[in-house]
């Protein structure tokens, strides 16, 4: 059995600090900086896998060649595809029409990486890249189509007859690897709830000896709120255990977690809690803030902990418990979404001032749900979270008062399932500013009903968890800066807004 990596460095641009080696404009990580970053993730931080992201940005498909050329001694001793891993994240051609050809181009580069690896290591030593992540997987047909596309459109073309005496392989050589392992990234509520049927259909069609499944944690929080995001992840993990037992196929879950509570709360200071929270997860994402916003030894020690710690057994929940999850989600989500809808204009205005930490193509997330007000368009999750924290309204608190409608059994299920809910709320409430809420109300920037709901959410958290903001210097400074940011917004002082957003991000050790 191959080594399954425990830690995956990603290119999520949530870092507040700009590493000193970055050459891009205004601190943006791009081009060969990303190649160096990948090497650094392996060699300095000890991460076992790097996600090479072709979704939403231009990507260098010659990364393996550059790594071998620039750092030959390291990669001779640490074999890519055997000891450490490089995994492509593809654009989803079913929903990202403008990037369909990027999808095809990225797959075509996998055999190039193989040839480069064969030349560097020697024949049959390793396959440098053999996995690809498909974001926003919603059904098994997408996964099957991707596996078949690689087989038929990339590999099988080597047998295409060009002339009477020549085939494609005579021109470009044999195409390897002959297979591509697909990692579904499941992100939306319906797909997370129906993950069992998606995976079962895939493994029944494409015979695999094991499977890695990527569970989103950040986008579900943005779309449905933090409580729903955690319950959806737990629901999915439980269903994956069921599939594993029914089909006798080992499943190694990956979870996409960022540093702040809203996006997963995986940072060097909270690593053991997250490891305990998401039982059964094999691979944890190590995003940019984790690597660049904490002390280096804290970061490396936390990564070592994840690499060597024996994973918890996957949790299995009964049908009744899973139904309770759904009831809580259906109760909590509309309350959360109502607040977000009311704050959308403010979020979008602040988002335009959030610094960009990585070169990305223009992309916005669609936050839509069925209601008379229609749909709301929002920025991507990191910018979304940064915008809300920057005005003293951490999104973790939104919707909490809806939990008051749970009966005792449902409440106990929530608290026993989401083990560190109080920890996540406590870390978030520190950055809440009641003064800013008053300003938003007085200046009529936010509807009074939304203001009242946020007050109700805070009141519920304080009375049911005994949580109040602490009075530490960094917390007080963050609150002051968030109020100054609102004042600068009212006076259209753009320089001050950007400066304050950046300083607040450094105080909380993550952009968003």
Residue 37 CA to its chain's centroid (Å): 18
Residue 43 has pLDDT above 70, yes or no: yes
Domain ranges (residues) in the chain = 7-308, 319-508
Outline where DSSP puts E strands in 204-299: 211-216, 251-256, 283-286
Mean pLDDT value across the chain: 93
Each residue of 248-301: pLDDT tens digit?
Answer: 999 999 999 999 999 999 999 999 999 999 999 999 999 999 999 999 999 999
CB 99 within 8 A of CB 83: no
pLDDT score of 458 more than 60: yes
When pLDDT is averaged across residues 100-116 and rounded to a whole number, the result is 91
Confidence of residue 133 (pLDDT cuts 50, 70, 90): very high
Looking at residue 363, what is its pLDDT?
41
Q: Band of the pLDDT at 371, cuts 50, 70, 90?
A: very low
Helix (H, G, I), strand (E, B) or coil at 512: coil
Domain covering 7-308 in this structure, CATH number? 3.20.20.60
**CA–CA–CA angle 36, 40, 42 (5° rounding):** 120
What is the token pair recorded at 488?
Answer: 């600068």
Q: Give pLDDT, residue 471.
A: 83
Share of the chain above pLDDT 70, in %: 96
Q: How many whole angstroms separate alpha carbon 506 and alpha carbon 499?
A: 11
**Hunting for tokens 């129906």 — which residue is that?**
194
The pLDDT-based confidence of 375 (bands split at 50, 70, 90) is low
Backbone torsions φ then ψ of 134, nearest 5 degrees: -105, 105
pLDDT score, position 390: 98
b/e sequence 171-197, b meaning 16+ C-beta within 10 Å? eeeebbbbebbbbbbbbbbebbbbbbe
C-alpha 373/C-alpha 327 separation (Å) is 23
234 near 241, Cβ under 8 Å? no
Q: How far is CA 138 from the centre of its chain?
A: 17
Phi, psi of 500 (to 5 degrees): -70, -40
pLDDT grade, residue 30 (50/70/90)? confident
> What is the reported pTM?
0.95
- What residues are paired with 167 via a beta bridge? 161
Task: Identify the weakest region by mean pLDDT among 43-47, 54-58, 163-167, 446-450.
Answer: 54-58
User: By the 8 A CB rule, do 88 and 185 touch?
Assistant: no
As beta bridge partners, residue 256 has: 216
- Confidence band of 57 (pLDDT split at 50, 70, 90): low
Instruction: Report the pLDDT averaged over residues 53-65.
Output: 75
| Pair of tokens at residue 229 | 């995001």
pLDDT at 98: 75
Count of other CB atoms within 10 angstroms of residue 281: 24
Q: What is the mean pLDDT of residues 197-217?
A: 97
137 conformational bin, left if phi > 0, alpha if psi -120 to 50, beta if neither: beta
């Amino acid at each position: 059995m191959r080594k399954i990596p425990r830690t995956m460095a990603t290119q999520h641009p949530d870092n507040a600090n700009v590493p000193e080696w970055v050459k891009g404009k205004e601190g943006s990580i791009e081009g060969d900086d990303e190649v160096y970053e990948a090497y650094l993730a392996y060699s300095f931080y000890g991460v076992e896998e790097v996600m090479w992201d072709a979704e939403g940005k231009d990507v260098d498909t010659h990364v393996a060649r550059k790594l071998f050329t620039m750092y030959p001694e390291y990669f001779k001793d640490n074999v890519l595809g055997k000891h450490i891993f490089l995994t492509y994240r593809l654009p989803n051609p079913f929903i990202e029409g403008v990037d369909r050809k990027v999808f095809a181009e990225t797959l075509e580069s996998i055999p190039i990486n193989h040839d480069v690896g064969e030349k560097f290591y020697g024949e049959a030593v390793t396959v440098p890249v053999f996995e690809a992540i498909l974001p926003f997987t919603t059904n098994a047909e997408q996964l099957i189509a991707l596996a078949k596309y690689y087989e038929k459109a990339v590999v099988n073309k080597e047998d295409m007859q060009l002339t009477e005496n020549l085939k494609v392989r005579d021109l470009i050589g044999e195409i390897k690897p002959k297979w591509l392992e697909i990692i579904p990234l499941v992100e939306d509520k319906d797909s997370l709830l129906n993950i069992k049927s998606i995976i079962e259909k895939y493994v029944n069609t494409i015979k695999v000896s094991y499977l890695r499944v990527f569970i989103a944690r950040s986008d579900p929080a943005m779309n449905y709120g933090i409580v729903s995001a955690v319950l959806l992840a737990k629901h999915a993990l439980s269903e994956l255990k069921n599939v594993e037992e029914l089909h006798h196929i080992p499943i190694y879950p990956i979870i996409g977690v960022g540093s702040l509570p809203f996006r997963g709360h995986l940072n060097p200071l909270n690593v053991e809690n997250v490891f305990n929270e998401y039982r059964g997860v094999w691979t944890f994402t190590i995003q940019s803030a984790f690597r660049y916003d904490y002390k280096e030894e804290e970061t490396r020690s936390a990564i070592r902990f994840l690499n060597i710690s024996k994973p918890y057994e996957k949790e299995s929940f009964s049908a009744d418990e899973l139904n309770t999850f759904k009831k809580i989600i259906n109760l909590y989500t509309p309350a959360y979404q109502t607040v977000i809808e009311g704050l959308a204009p403010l979020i979008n205005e602040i988002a335009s001032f959030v610094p960009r930490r990585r070169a990305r193509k223009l992309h916005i997330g669609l936050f839509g749900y069925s209601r008379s007000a229609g749909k709301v368009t929002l920025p991507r999750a990191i910018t979304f979270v940064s915008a809300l924290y920057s005005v003293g309204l951490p999104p973790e608190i939104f919707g909490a008062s809806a939990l008051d409608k749970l009966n005792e059994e449902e409440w106990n299920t929530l608290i026993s399932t989401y083990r560190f809910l109080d920890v996540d709320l406590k870390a978030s409430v520190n950055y809440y500013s009641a003064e800013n809420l008053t300003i938003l109300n007085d200046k009529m920037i936010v509807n009074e009903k939304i203001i009242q709901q946020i007050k109700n959410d805070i009141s519920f958290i304080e009375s049911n968890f005994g949580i109040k903001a602490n009075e530490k210097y960094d917390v007080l400074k963050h609150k002051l800066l968030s109020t100054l940011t609102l004042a600068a917004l009212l006076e259209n002082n753009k320089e001050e807004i950007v400066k304050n957003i950046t300083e607040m991000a450094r105080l909380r050790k993550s952009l968003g």
